[in-house]
Amino acid sequence: MTLRVEDLHKSFGGVQAVAGVSLEVAAGELVALIGPNGAGKSTCFNMLNGQLRPDRGRVVLKGEDITGLPPRAVWRRGVGRTFQITATFASMSVLENVQMALLSHRRRLFDLWRPVAREDPAEALALLARVGMQAQAGRPCGVLAYGDLKRVELAIALANAPALLLMDEPTAGMAPAERVALMELTARIARDSGIAVLFTEHDMDVVFAHADRILVLDRGRPIAEGRPAEVRADARVREVYLGTGATHGGH
């Protein structure tokens, strides 16, 4: 099992944001974490990627306990991330963005001498080719279309050959056609390279079309888990999304 999460808890002040979430993601598998606004998805995610320290519970990656490590240490152990709002280095080209991840992976960030321009671009270009961004390698990230930025983020996330990809709302802000393309690309890469993928998502079409399994949260607690067809049929899930869920569902 690539990722095993056991009984995560987190509260802010008196509010229990996450209570008793456990999940597993296997290599090559896409698992979606869904739920109405305020269900605890982001809190859960931030405990996995190191941004938040859980009050209780464990995060185990490939058998190693990574609970409470800072984000950069989590990354070093093989966890790539994409963000809900893309985060790239706007003053650098697409190629340089990917090269930064590679340089960090090789622990060469404190090199004061060898110009980055003289690095062999082959590996970074190969990563960009995997996400279909090779042709735009020389463009500054600051001028890219949003969908293209998402692809660059994916290439960056793949740079340290991750075992696990954490994608927070991967298709947020994209046109419907682009969403399908990006998720198909992600699924293909995950299966080809045996990467476990955990993602949160608002677009239910994307979730039911691409997730192998789905975990549904409500008010910090898991209420359903299973294959898309099972989750779709679950009465409690229907209630949360269509019925009484609206009273605490936020916007």
Partner 1 sequence: MFENLLVQGLSGLASASSLFLVASGLTVIFGVTRIVNFAHGSLYMLGAYLAWTLVTNLPRGHFGFWGGVLAAALIVGVVGVLIEVLLLRRIYKAPELFQLLATFGVVLIVQDLALMIWGPQDLLGPRAPGLRGATEILGVRFPLYELFLIFVGPVVLGLLWLLFHRTRWGTRVRAATADREMVGALGVNQRLLFTTVFFLGACLAGLGGALQLPRESVNLQMDLAIIAEAFVVVVIGGLGSLPGAFLAALLIGQMQAFGILIFPKITLVLAFLVMAVVLILRPYGLLGRPPASAHAAQVVEPPYPPPSPAFRALGLATVAVALLLPPFLGDFALIVFTEIAIMVLFAASLHFIMGPGGMASFGHAAYFGLGAYGAALLVKHVAAPMEIGLLAAPFAAGLAGVVFGWFCVRLSGVYAAMLTLAFAQIAWSAAFQWVELTGGDNGILGVWPSDWARNKLAYYYLALLLCLGATLLLRRAIMAPFGYALRAGRDSPLRAEAIGMDGFRIRWVAFILAAVAAGIAGGLFAYAKGSVFPTYMAIPRSVDALLMVLLGGVQTLSGPIVGALAYTWIHEQLMRLFELWRLLLGAVILLLVLFFPQGLAGAAQRAAEKRA
Pairing of strands 56-61, 3-12: antiparallel
Q: Does 84 bind partner 1 (CB under 8 A)?
A: no
CA–CA distances in Å: residue 45 to residues 66, 105, 217, 218: 14, 23, 12, 15
If one counts every other C-beta atom within 10 angstroms of the C-beta of residue 23, the result is 18
Near partner 1 by CB under 8 A: residue from 43, 46, 49, 67: 49
Question: Mask: binding to partner 1, 190-229, rule CB under 8 A, as x and -?
Answer: ----------------------------------------
Q: What are φ and ψ of residue 32, in 5° steps?
A: -100, 140
Q: Quote the least distance from Cβ 242 to partner 1, whole Å.
A: 34
Nearest to 92 by CA among 159, 143, 154: 143
- Give the total of residues touching partner 1 (CB under 8 A): 38
Integer distance in angstroms from the first to the last C-alpha of the chain?
A: 36
Near partner 1 by CB under 8 A: residue from 26, 27, 60, 103: 103
Distance CA 77, CA 75 (A): 5
The footprint of partner 1 on residues 152-181 (CB under 8 A) is: 156, 159-160
Residues in CB range of 49: below 8 A, 6 or more apart: 71, 74, 79, 81, 166
Question: Mask: binding to partner 1, 112-151, rule CB under 8 A, as x and -?
Answer: xxxxxx----------------------x-x---------
Q: Does 75 bind partner 1 (CB under 8 A)?
A: yes
Distance CA 204, CA 94 (A): 30
Near partner 1 by CB under 8 A: residue from 81, 130, 151, 179: 81
Near partner 1 by CB under 8 A: residue from 12, 91, 145, 188: 91
Q: Quote the least distance from Cβ 173 to partner 1, whole Å.
A: 16
Q: Quote the least distance from Cβ 61 to partner 1, whole Å.
A: 15
Angle, alpha carbons 198-200-202 (nearest 5°): 150
Q: Does 93 bind partner 1 (CB under 8 A)?
A: yes
Distance CA 177, CA 91 (A): 29
Q: Quote the least distance from Cβ 99 to partner 1, whole Å.
A: 8
Binding footprint of partner 1 on the chain (CB under 8 A): 49, 70-73, 75-76, 81, 83, 87-93, 96, 99-101, 103-105, 108-117, 140, 142, 156, 159-160
